[in-house]
Amino acid sequence: MSIQAGGTICLPVIMIGQLVCQKFGWLAALLSVGLGNLFLLAIGYLLASLSTYRPQSTVEHAASYFGERGKLLFASFMMFSMLGWFGIQLNVMSLSCEQLLNMFGIATTYHVRNVGIGIIISAVMCLGMKAMKGLSYFCAPLLGLTLLYATCFSEGSLPSVAPLTISWLGGLSLIIGANIAAVIDLPTYFRHAKSGKDAKICILMLYGIIVPFIEIVGIYLSAVTGGDSILDVLQKGHGALWMMWVSCFVLLSGWATNNANLYSSVTSSYSLPGRFSPIIRTLILGIIGTAIACFNPLGNIEHILDLLSVTIGGMGAVILANYLLERSNSKYRNLPWSTFASWLSGIIIGIFSFFFHGLTTGVPAFDAFVTSFLIQITFNLIYQRVRTYETIDD
């Protein structure tokens, strides 16, 4: 859990809070954080129960309910989701690196920075888990101190409240989309929990307190500084030394985050065909993530998160629905055809939600999750009813 928490509470969370505030205003951002994390908390709480009921990775749960094909699909989506985040964080690290190098009069190109940092991260990850955990532990207190200083000594005041329009749902979509893959993958980490109670306490701490708090700090800093990037909101109004520290911190924090992303990708890759050593897997996936970074995923983060959250969220909903049916009904039977039908239905509705906001909630990840969840339960209940009638007739 330390790896997951270390990666989660570092860079992406405050960055998403800042981005939502920048695009939709601070009131809409606060609403998005509240409702989005409540939704994620509910999912995470149920998944914590699943984690101790059947201690398996999320990919193994997918195999239980979808079969081997579902296992391959889910592993692929999880792997590319984490590699997508790897590319996004690499872009942020590249911006910090550019700022640091500019202070010393060193000019570099966008692709050189991304490729250089990506190769270094991948190579160091080959050294093993111990260094990765150490970096996560090291970054957490530094994050707290950096945010505390930036918040207490930020200059400016909250702007007036912008009129709340239906567009604020875009902020809710960002909050859910940025976190849902990590939530769905929690069984991979919580299978090692001592008890269901411990897993649920971790979920309550993580998505009930820590993540919302850091997102709110990002919202506050964005609102009072008017900065247009995570670097800008942390640095604005302070001196050159502080700017240098923030650039270094973002590099370090991004490194810890990308360690977690690469670790999750490697873990998922073991469910795919092919026999490769951990070092080869790490290097190959690191190169793929670095290549993704060269296409500037940070500049298209909203669309990327919507796409990833629809596919992974829908599959997670099917896993959760089957688990609840299995726990509550002694006559439960897994139906692989229904799991795929439910998942595909969720994807279709999620994509529809992306293009036609007026006919759905306008939050693709939420629409896909709820659709897949409800259709899966409906299919199973209908099947059980039919089986009951067939038994009576016999």
Condensed to tens digits (0 to 9), the pLDDT of residues 109-145 reads 999 999 999 999 998 888 766 656 666 667 777 777 8
Q: Percent of the chain having pLDDT more than 70?
A: 91
pLDDT reading at 4 higher than 60: no
Calpha distance 56→191 (Å, rounded)? 6
pLDDT reading at 358 higher than 50: yes
Give the chain's radius of gyration (CA, Å).
21
Structure tokens, 258: 């990308």
Which amino acid is located at 130 in the chain? K
pLDDT tens by residue, 165-175: 777 888 999 99
Domain boundaries along the sequence of the chain:
2-299
Give the HSE-up count for residue 4: Cα atoms under 13 Å, Cβ half-sphere. 23
Mean pLDDT computed over 84-88: 93
- Listed in sequence order, the DSSP H helices in the chain are 2-8, 11-24, 26-53, 58-66, 68-103, 110-125, 129-152, 169-184, 186-190, 196-205, 211-225, 230-235, 240-269, 278-293, 301-328, 336-355, 364-393
* Cα–Cα nearest to 226, from 2, 4, 26: 26
Calpha distance 82→88 (Å, rounded)? 10
Contact (Cβ atoms closer than 8 angstroms) between residue 344 and residue 371? no
pLDDT tens by residue, 286-301: 999 999 999 999 988 8
Mean pLDDT computed over 28-48: 95
pLDDT in the model for residue 3:
47
Q: What residues contact 193, with CB distance under 8 A and at least 6 apart?
A: 1, 48, 51, 52, 199, 202
Which amino acid is located at 95 in the chain? L
Other C-beta atoms lying within 10 Å of the C-beta of residue 103:
12
pLDDT reading at 330 higher than 90: no
DSSP state of 296: -
* Cα–Cα nearest to 185, from 340, 43, 338, 334: 43
pLDDT in the model for residue 2:
47
Sign of CA dihedral 157, 161, 165, 169: positive
Structure tokens, 206: 């993580």
Calpha distance 107→66 (Å, rounded)? 51
Question: Does domain 2-299 fall into CATH 1.10.4160.10?
Answer: yes
User: Would you place residue 394 in the very low, low, confident or very high pLDDT band (cuts 50, 70, 90)?
Assistant: low
Mean pLDDT computed over 297-326: 91
pLDDT tens by residue, 144-198: 788 888 888 877 777 887 777 777 888 999 999 999 988 998 888 788 777 778 8
Concatenated DSSP letters of 300-334: GHHHHHHHHHHHHHHHHHHHHHHHHHHHH-TT---
The more confidently predicted of residues 41 and 252 is: 41
pLDDT in the model for residue 295:
94
Mean pLDDT of the chain: 86
pLDDT reading at 352 higher than 80: yes
Mean pLDDT computed over 276-280: 88
